Amino acid sequence: MIKSIILGAGKGTRMKSDMPKVLHTIFDKALLGYVIDAVNGTNLIDENYIIVGHQAEEVESYVKSNYENSKCVLQSPQLGTGHAVSMALPYLKDFEGEAVILCGDTPLITSDTLKEFIEHHKANNSDITVMSAIFENPANYGRIIRNSDGTLNSIVEEKDADAEQKAVKEINAGIYCVNWGKIKSAFSELKTNNAQGEYYLTDIIKWGNENKLRVNAYTLKNNEEIFGINSKANLAEAYKLLNRRVVKKHLENGVTIVDPDTTWISPETEIGADTIIYPSCYINGKNKIGSHCKIGPFAHLRGDVILEDYVKIGNFVEVKKTTVKSHTNACHLTYLGDSEIGSNVNIGAGTITANYNPLTNVKSKTIIKDNVKIGSNSVLVAPLVIEEGTNVGALSAITKNLPSWALAITRAPLRVVENWVSRHKD
């Protein structure tokens, strides 16, 4: 199998944040998580080595909590990208296969592109392959300098490039596939004779050519995939790019999205054909939405939501950690959290599942069986089970389990004081 080395040690000064750059999120998922998932999604890479530095403990905690096949390696001090990769040497000293090197702040890279990149490397019997891209405005990127036969000569950083080199539009995308057994010795020979005074990873290209290795470049098809995050503005743009990709996929799969510009859907959300997503919806986390559902407008799905076919989640309805079976409606101004809701249920406007105990910090579950009707402005206090067919009257606060086919009402009786207004006006 192949190994990966993911660079995630940088501070990200331009983010203007106390949080490590690679732990900033898109749809509540860390940038680093997108990269690791893309790597793991190739099914070609069995181990990931995450190079950490700035706030290393936070990054390591995230990795340990989410990825069993990933190990963090500390880079201290931080002396450049070449130095960062060299931190993996003690863990890969006996490894002779391929390694993929990439950055932890490029959340738009896909598994398909990485697979194609690795296959290109192998098909060309390369020892070093770098991913490149063609940019009309290549400013601030390292330039790809090719030999006359199309092989890769070197990568020249912007600060070290002359006028002719700066005119080159092919840039270094920052992803490498290398024959680790042949190039690992390069990291003890890198020099710091450059404008930054650092050990550049890009110098392995020159080193490979000097040592008669096969050095090539693979040109990326979609430049968006190497979009790097260096600022909050970059983060916002990546959010849009990723969402546009997700929305396009669902449109192609038969989902109706009334206004793609105001609809946000996480990559982990599945949606069946003929479902309609109305404007200004935010669908976050991992969810499964069936066919022929109607969502929104102004609905918020917060993750771990399963909606079966023909479910309606209407305007200003928030749903979290909840399963809703078919032909159930929650149309207005409602919160459904930590719940199991049956089929043919109607949730009246303003209903709340009160799932959180502030004294114990415990969240409990509300279970609503088939054919239940919940009246408007009701509060369902968990833990709670409402059995099949029961009706809950409007304005009720339900704190005990309810039997089947019953009527539950907790509101005070109506009292009418005749002529009250007339008397008080006088």
Would you say 51 and 87 are in contact if contact means Cβ atoms under 8 Å apart? yes
For the chain, percent of residues with pLDDT exceeding 70: 100
Cα(29)–Cα(23) distance, integer angstroms: 8
Query: What stretches of 30-106 show up as alpha helix (H) in DSSP?
Result: 31-40, 56-66, 81-86
DSSP for 128-193 reads EEEEEEE-SS-TTSPEEEE-TTS-EEEEE-GGG--HHHHT--EEEEEEEEEEHHHHGGGGGT----
Residue 292 predicted with pLDDT over 70: yes
Of the candidates 17, 9, 138, 120, the one whose C-alpha atom is nearest the C-alpha of residue 74 is: 9
Q: Are 88 and 201 members of one domain?
A: yes
Q: Are 221 and 257 members of one domain?
A: no
CATH number for the domain spanning 136: value is 3.90.550.10
- The SS3 call for residue 13 is helix
Q: Are 32 and 127 members of one domain?
A: yes
In a domain, 352, yes or no: yes
Mean pLDDT of 367-377: 98
CATH number for the domain spanning 372: value is 2.160.10.10
Cα(65)–Cα(60) distance, integer angstroms: 8
- The SS3 call for residue 60 is helix
In a domain, 424, yes or no: no
Q: For the chain, what is the mean pLDDT?
A: 95
List the domain range (segments joined by +) for residue 179. 2-226
Q: Are 25 and 131 members of one domain?
A: yes
**Cβ of 8: how many Cβ atoms within 10 Å?**
30
- Cα-only R_g, the chain: 28
Residue 195 predicted with pLDDT over 80: no
Q: Which two tokens stand for residue 214?
A: 């096969």
Q: Which of 121, 292, 332, 424 is catalytic?
A: 332
Mean pLDDT of 405-422: 93
- Report pLDDT for 160: 85
Q: Are 310 and 351 members of one domain?
A: yes
Mean pLDDT of 151-175: 91
Q: Are 295 and 368 members of one domain?
A: yes
Q: Are 263 and 202 members of one domain?
A: no
N- to C-terminal Cα distance for the chain?
Answer: 90
In a domain, 413, yes or no: no
pLDDT band at 325 (very low <50, low <70, confident <90, very high): very high
Task: Assess whether 332 carries a catalytic annotation.
Answer: yes
The structural domain count of the chain equals 2
Mean pLDDT of 120-130: 96
Q: Are 257 and 211 members of one domain?
A: no
Mean pLDDT of 202-230: 94
In a domain, 142, yes or no: yes
Identify the domain boundary among 209, 226, 243.
Answer: 226
Per residue in 74-111, pLDDT (tens digit) is 999 889 999 999 999 999 999 999 999 999 999 999 99
In a domain, 240, yes or no: no
Q: Are 32 and 138 members of one domain?
A: yes
In a domain, 363, yes or no: yes
pTM reported for the whole predicted model: 0.93
In a domain, 420, yes or no: no
Cα-based angle 113, 255, 41 (whole degrees, multiple of 5) = 25
In a domain, 418, yes or no: no
- Report pLDDT for 120: 97
Q: Are 262 and 360 members of one domain?
A: yes
Residue 249 predicted with pLDDT over 70: yes
Q: Are 196 and 257 members of one domain?
A: no
Q: Are 259 and 202 members of one domain?
A: no
